[in-house]
């Protein structure tokens, strides 16, 4: 019997929600890492019981957690599970994210643009997104703030920056979005292990075709009226990018404003906002079996980070964009003022595709019928930062 495991990161801990394939009754486990901000939890496609979690705190900094049993138990990679290790030189470096400045592979640390337009040094703050390899449970990528991408090939024990991204030349033009200068999206190409995409707020989208050595900005067609040159090569506040694994050349983007689409792996973009009530938002995702069916949650504006008119509505396009329908059955349609953050939507791959999202109000909603109807799995978690789904069995 198939099973679904939903991995939820919140402002005050992680939760693991499980159900059978009917997705009617749910078991809620957590909080794990209570009191800590859990920006992201994600499972390995190569070993579904291998999970990685980004745990962080303004006081204590970054911690990486790993589970080998689907989230029942956790430990920091490089430290033995259970008891503390015997005395000796400390080895734990799973939270050591150091920008590469080496002569051999690193570029000199540049500066980036700060909120006030001055140049500012790169400073590591936290891991926003963890993307496990499609084929190796011990290989995982981390998107961090200040924006950079790191890779671990030993299960998160040690991390190395893929410095070609930060060093390719436009770094001084990158600037923080309202949430910080974060690398929040990492997409691996299932048909080409050398290719991946990342997105940074606020710099834009980038692609590598050589396994992360070199990167190029892929922002042609993006237009952002809030920057001095609306058509600039970099500086766009991309909020999230999604791809269907069967069509790696087709990308869907929720930009700060505008919903966009690329049919050439990001080389050019076209707007597909169509009849959306507002094209500001954070999440975007693709149906598991219908590559032209996409989902967004429109948010009123960048100054009012909540849904329009007090109504929580997911919008679905079955035409790859432009034509959108509001999905509201089971969702609150009055007095609702929540936000849905960029990593807080995911889909399962059961025959009838399930769609999940979490809100700033602590609700996690699920639809077992591709969005036609919704029900809350839980209503009162801490504010939800991320939602991922694993389809098991």
Partner 1 sequence: MIRVILPPHLRTLARVRGDVELEVQGQVTQRSVLDELEARYPMLRGTIRDHVTQQRRPFLRFFACEEDLSHELPDAPLPGSVASGKEPLLIIGAIAGGLMGYKLPW
Write out the residues near partner 1 by the rule CB under 8 A.
35-36, 57-63, 76, 78-79, 82-85, 87-93, 95-96, 98
Beta-carbon contacts of 245 under 8 Å, excluding residues fewer than 6 positions away, are: 190
Distances (CA, A) of 261 to 153, 249, 308: 32, 10, 23
- The answer for 128, left when phi > 0, alpha when psi is -120 to 50, beta otherwise, is alpha
CB of 80 to partner 1, least distance (A): 9
CB of 164 to partner 1, least distance (A): 21
- Looking at the Cβ atoms of 57 and 319, the one nearer to partner 1 is 57
- Looking at the Cβ atoms of 31 and 354, the one nearer to partner 1 is 31
Dist. CA 224–CA 235, nearest whole Å: 9
- Looking at the Cβ atoms of 74 and 295, the one nearer to partner 1 is 74
- Looking at the Cβ atoms of 77 and 281, the one nearer to partner 1 is 77
According to DSSP, the β-strands at 119-121 and 111-113 are antiparallel
CA-closest candidate to residue 343, choices 207, 240, 245, 237: 240
- Looking at the Cβ atoms of 144 and 272, the one nearer to partner 1 is 144
Composition of the chain by helix, strand, coil, percent to 5: 0, 40, 60
Give the number of other CB atoms < 10 A from CB of residue 124: 18
CB of 132 to partner 1, least distance (A): 21
Beta-carbon contacts of 69 under 8 Å, excluding residues fewer than 6 positions away, are: 49
CB of 92 to partner 1, least distance (A): 4
CB of 127 to partner 1, least distance (A): 12
Tokens 């936000």: give the residue: 339
* Omega before residue 41 within 30° of 0, cis: no
CB of 147 to partner 1, least distance (A): 19
- Looking at the Cβ atoms of 83 and 335, the one nearer to partner 1 is 83
Residue 257 has phi, psi (to 5 degrees) of: -110, 150
User: Contact 158/96 with Cβ under 8 angstroms?
Assistant: yes
- Looking at the Cβ atoms of 127 and 238, the one nearer to partner 1 is 127
């Amino acid at each position: 019997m198939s099973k679904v495991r939903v991995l939820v990161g919140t402002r005050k801990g992680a939760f693991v929600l499980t159900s059978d394939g009917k997705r009617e009754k749910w078991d809620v486990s957590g909080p794990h890492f209570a009191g800590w901000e859990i920006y992201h939890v994600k499972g390995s496609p190569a070993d579904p019981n291998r999970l990685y979690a980004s745990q962080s705190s303004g006081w204590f900094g970054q911690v990486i957690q790993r589970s080998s049993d689907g989230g029942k138990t956790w430990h920091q990679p490089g430290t033995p599970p259970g008891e503390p290790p015997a005395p000796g030189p400390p080895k734990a470096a799973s939270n050591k994210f150091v920008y590469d400045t080496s002569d051999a592979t690193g570029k000199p640390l540049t500066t980036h643009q700060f909120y006030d337009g001055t140049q500012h040094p790169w400073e590591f703050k936290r891991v926003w997104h963890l993307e496990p390899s499609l084929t190796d449970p011990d290989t995982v990528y981390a998107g961090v703030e200040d924006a950079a991408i790191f890779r671990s090939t030993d299960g998160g024990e040690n991390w190395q920056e893929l410095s070609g991204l930060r060093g390719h030349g436009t770094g001084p033009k990158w600037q923080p979005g309202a949430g910080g200068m974060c690398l929040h999206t990492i997409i691996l190409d299932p048909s080409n292990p050398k290719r991946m995409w990342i997105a940074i707020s606020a710099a834009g989208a980038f692609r590598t075709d050589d396994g992360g050595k070199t990167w190029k900005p892929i922002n042609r067609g993006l237009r952002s009226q809030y920057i001095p040159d609306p058509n600039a090569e970099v500086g766009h506040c991309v909020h999230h990018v999604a791809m269907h694994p069967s069509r790696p050349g087709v990308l869907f983007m929720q930009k700060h404003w505008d919903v966009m689409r690329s049919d050439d792996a990001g080389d050019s973009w076209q707007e597909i906002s169509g009849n959306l009530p507002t094209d500001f938002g954070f999440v975007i995702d693709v149906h598991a079996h219908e590559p032209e069916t996409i989902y967004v949650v429109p948010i009123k504006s960048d100054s009012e980070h909540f849904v329009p008119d007090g109504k929580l509505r997911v919008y679905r396009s079955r035409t790859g964009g432009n034509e959108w329908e509001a999905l509201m059955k089971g969702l609150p349609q009055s007095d609702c003022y929540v936000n849905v953050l960029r990593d807080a939507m995911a889909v399962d791959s059961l025959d009838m595709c399930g769609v999940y999202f979490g809100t700033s109000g602590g609700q996690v909603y699920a639809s077992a019928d591709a969005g036609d109807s919704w029900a809350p799995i839980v209503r009162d978690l801490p504010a939800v930062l991320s939602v991922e789904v694993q389809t098991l069995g």
